[in-house]
């Protein structure tokens, strides 16, 4: 299958340097890039069908964590923004559960698509995970499930919304809330977000939307899903170096197995 049979290259000419520069400018300025209807309608439909057929394979987790995704710091009380807990819950199927001849695998391994991502992200190359679970993940969020406020450990995230819920399931974020590289965790401002005193920005996501998001310093969440329609989101995970695996502890936490 060719790339132009998967994505709308008329609307989004990913091999055009002019288009790529525009995307990079948007991402650099706002920290987020959303390409609505990036996937063709027939592509969305096919991935939705595969997702529904394979949902029984999903590993479901519900966990309490702080926004820094780190163990508690005993130098702070439990109610401090450093340690305050939020809830995340979802189901997930992993790379080895995605058929090798699937649309998602074709897109993930497409040279043209990777070159587009590299140019927009400003990096030299992208590589799949060395472990068999972490490169392509399909996440399911049914009624009441959510992702609590957090910062990402990685510098970028690449996602495709496959199916939007009836209500809720909105992606909210507050840009550049901390500076992880300098060690500035900005506890006071984090507290205002957790307390609902700082209004977040919301990304408008519909089925077929490609999103690139810099979440290392921008705090974000997915609000609880409402209604009977499951939110389905694909995470396309890459590394800037070859041979990298997700840690064993992370694999056990997210997937319930190592391989």
Write the pLDDT tens digit of every residue in 138-158.
999 999 999 999 999 899 999
Complete domains list, the chain, with CATH? 3-255 (2.60.120.620)
Residue 135: closest CA among 244, 10, 26: 244
Distance of CA 218 to the CA centre of its chain: 13
Q: What is the pLDDT of residue 170?
A: 97
Residue 169: closest CA among 90, 60, 53: 90
pLDDT in tens, 59-71: 999 999 999 999 9
Residue 253, pLDDT above cutoff 90: no
Alpha helix segments (H runs only) across the chain: 17-30, 41-54, 103-109, 111-121, 187-194, 248-255
Task: Using DSSP bridges, classify how beta strands 136-141 and 157-163 pair: parallel, antiparallel or unpaired.
Answer: unpaired
Which residue's entry shows tokens 């506890």?
187
Average pLDDT over residues 127-134: 96
**What are the residues facing 54 on neighbouring strands?**
none
Average pLDDT over residues 210-234: 98
Q: What is the pLDDT of residue 132?
A: 97
Residue 98 in tokens: 């995605």
pLDDT in tens, 13-34: 999 999 999 999 999 999 999 9
Q: What is the pLDDT of residue 34?
A: 98
Q: How many CB atoms lie within 10 A of CB 18?
A: 7
């Amino acid at each position: 299958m060719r790339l132009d049979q998967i994505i709308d290259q008329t609307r989004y000419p990913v091999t055009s340097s002019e288009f790529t520069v525009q995307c990079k400018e948007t991402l650099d300025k706002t920290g987020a890039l959303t390409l609505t209807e990036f996937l063709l309608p027939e592509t969305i439909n096919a991935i939705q069908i595969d997702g529904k057929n394979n949902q029984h394979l999903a590993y479901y987790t519900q966990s309490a964590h702080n926004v820094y995704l780190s163990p508690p710091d005993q130098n702070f009380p439990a109610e401090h923004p450093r340690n305050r807990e939020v809830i995340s819950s979802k189901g997930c199927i992993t790379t080895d559960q995605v058929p090798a001849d699937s649309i998602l695998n074709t897109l993930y391994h497409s040279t043209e698509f990777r070159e587009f991502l590299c140019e927009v992200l400003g990096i030299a190359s992208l590589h799949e995970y060395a472990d068999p679970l972490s490169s392509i993940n399909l996440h399911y969020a049914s009624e009441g499930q959510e992702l609590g406020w957090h910062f990402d450990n990685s510098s970028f995230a690449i996602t495709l919304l496959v199916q939007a819920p009836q209500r809720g399931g909105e992606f909210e974020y507050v840009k550049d809330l901390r500076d992880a590289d300098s060690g500035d965790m900005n506890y006071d401002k984090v507290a205002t977000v957790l307390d609902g005193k700082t209004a977040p920005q919301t990304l408008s996501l519909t089925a077929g939307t490609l999103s690139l998001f810099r979440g290392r310093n921008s705090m974000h969440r997915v609000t609880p899903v409402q209604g009977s329609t499951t939110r389905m989101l694909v995470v396309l995970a890459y590394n800037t170096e070859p041979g990298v695996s997700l840690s064993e502890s992370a694999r056990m936490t997210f997937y319930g197995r190592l391989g």
